[in-house]
Structure 1
Amino acid sequence: MKLLKKTALVGLLLASTSAAAQTIEGPEVNWSFSMWGNPRALSAGMEAIAEEVATQTGGNFNIEIFYGGQLSGSRENLDGLQLNAFEGAAICNFYHPGKNPAWMVFSLPFLPLGDPAVDQYVRSKMFEHPAIVADMAAWNAIPYMSGLLPQYEVLGSGDAPTELSDWEGLRVRAGGGLGDAMEALGATKQTLPAGETSTAFQRGALDAAAFPYTYAHVSFGIADEADWFTSNLAPGTSECGWVLNKTAYDSLPEQYQTLLMDLRGMGMDVEQAAYAAQDEVNLPVFKDTMEEIVYSDEQLAEFREIAGQPVWDAWIADNAEKFDSQAVFDAVWAYAEEAQAQ
C-alpha cells in the first residue's frame, strides 16, 4: 500500500505541473544528456523534467538521456561537456576528485544531510556556492540539479563486520571522504565506477560496497552478490548530480532557460519519491536474503569519533590552497541550520 501511495505521488507530481502548464513558444532545440547505467531512481527526476520541458514547449525543446555510457564514460562526462560533445550530463564527484575538488565536500562523512527536506535545501543552496560553480566553470559546465543520493549503507560478502574492528582489511568500494572514513576503520577503499562493482565481487576483488541505500545496491547488482548489509551505519553520501553545458545553456532563449531552472524543485521531489518507493520494495528482500547488521549507539559514536572530525579537518587542510575549503564546509552546516529553522 505504501509503495502504491509513493508511486502515485510521483505521478501526481508530474500531473500537477502538466495540468497547469501553458505552451511556451520557442525554436526547436534538441539536447543530449550523458548517463551511465540504466534508468533508475537517480535519473527519475531528470526524466520527469525532460518530459515536462517537451510538454510545455509543445515538443520544440527535447532532452534525450543516453544511458549505458553511450555518449561518454562515467569518468569522462566533464571532458565531454568541455568539448561540447553533449548538452548535459550526470556526474559523480568522487569519480574524478581532481576535476571537482570543492564538490568533494558532499562526500565527507556525517554531514547533517540525513533528513530529506534538509538535504534538498542544503544541496540546492550549495549548487549556487561560488566554489561549486567554479569547479564546473573549468569544464564549460554549470551545476543544475542535485541527485539527492540517500545516505549510504554497505553490502558485502563473507563474514559480517558486526564489530568495528571487523572492518580491518576489508576491501570496500567507497569514494571521497566516505572512503577515508572506511580507511579510518582499517578498510581498504576502492573507487570503482558503479557499473564495475558487481563484477569485482564476482572476481573476488572486493569484499563490500557502499552505495545509496537501497536503490543503487539493486540497480547495480550488488544485492545479488551480498551476504550481509548494514542498516544504520549512515556514514554519509556523495553528489551524483546533473550539470549542463554552459555554451548550450547560454545559447537557449530566455524562456527555455527559465523553464529549466523552474523545474528543478519538481525534479528533486520526483527523485526522493522514487528513492522511497524503491526502499519499500527492496528492504523486505534484503531482510529475507541477507544478514542485517545493526550497530549500537556506542559503536556509532565511536565510528563518528574516529572518522568524523579527523576526516573533516584533513579535507579542509588539504584543499585550503585550492579554494576556501573552510568556507565551503561551513556553508553546508549553515544551510542545514537554516533548513531546520524553517
Structure 2
Amino acid sequence: MRTPGRTQLPLFRRGVVVLAVAVAVLVSGCGGSGDATGSGSTSTPADASARAAAATKQLATNSVVPLEGKAPTPKLPVTVDSSDGRKVTVEDASRILPLNGGVAEIVFTLGLGDRVVGRDITATFEEAKKLPLVTKAHDVSAESVLSLKPTVVLADTDTGPSEAIDQIRDAGVPVVVLDPATELADVSTRTTRIAEALGVPAAGKALNRRIGDDLAEARAGVPEGSRPKVAFLYMRGSAAVYLIGGKGSGADSLVKAAGAVDAGTASGLDKPFTPITSEALVKAQPDVILMMTKGLDSVGGVDGLLDVPGISQTPAGMDRRVVDLEDGVLLGFGPRTPLVIDILVDRIHAK
C-alpha cells in the first residue's frame, strides 16, 4: 500500500504522491547545506518560532510566491525527453496547461502564471482557482483541454485516462509527461524539467537555489540534541481508513528534514502505509503525531483521535502532542515545502 492519493485508495483515486529520500540529497541538489540535526547552527528557538509564524501566515494566504524580478521569457523551440519515452518539441509556451496541481505550482512560481490557461482539480492555490477546470472528478477531459487551445500540456505519468492524453496529442498539442515526485530529490529534478520544457532553464536553476536555501535555513532551527519520534497517521474517519506511515510514506522524509525520527520506520514498518493497530502504535511510541488537517477533523479532532485504540497509550497521546497541516500543502512537495519544514521544526521540537 502506498501513500493514499490519486492512484491508491478507491476513495482517493489520484492525488498526493509518495515522498521519500534523504534530505541531504535535496540540499546538495538545490545548493543548500547543513546536516539533518542542525548541529552547529547558531539559530535560536526564537528564530525558529519566527520562521514558523511567517510560514503559517504565508500558507494561510494559499498563494505561491513567484521568483523575484521580471518574468522570464521562454526561449523556444526546445526538444525535451518525455517520461512516456517520447521526444517532444515545444515551439510555443504562450498557453500552458498543467494537468497536475504540483506542476501548476511550479509553473506559477517560475513566473509564468499569466500564461496558464486551465487547471487540474488538484491545483487549489489562490492564483489558479479562477482558471477553467479541465478534469471531471480526477479524469482529464480531452474536450475541455482542447477547447482552451493550449500550446503545450504538462502531465504526469499517472495523468489519465490514457485515451484522453492520446486525443490531446493527436490534435497536435505537445504533451510533456513528467515522473511523479516520489522523493525529496525530485523537487529539483521536476523543477528543472518543467523549466527546460518551457524554455526558461535559468529560472529553474534560480527556483532550485531558492528552495534549497530556504530548506537549509529551516533546518538550521532544529535544536541541538532534539530527536523526537514522529508518527504520521493518515486517517479518513468517515471511510474507516486508519493508517500509520512507515518507510517510503513521504512523510518520513519531511520528518527527517525537520530533524526528527520517523516513528513508523524506526519501529520496523518497511511499507509506506500499514493499518493502525494498538500493537503498532505502542511499538512505535511516538512523541508527536503528525496528520493532515482534514484527517484529524474526520475523527473528531484531538479528542476523537485519542479514542482510537492505542493512541492514548503513546507519549504523544498522553501529552496531546498532535501537529496537523493542510492536506494539499503537507505532502504537496513543491516550492512551498520549505514552509512546511519551518512549521514542523518549530512544532515537533516544542516542549
Greater helix share, 1 or 2?
1
Answer whether TM exceeds 0.5 for this pair: no
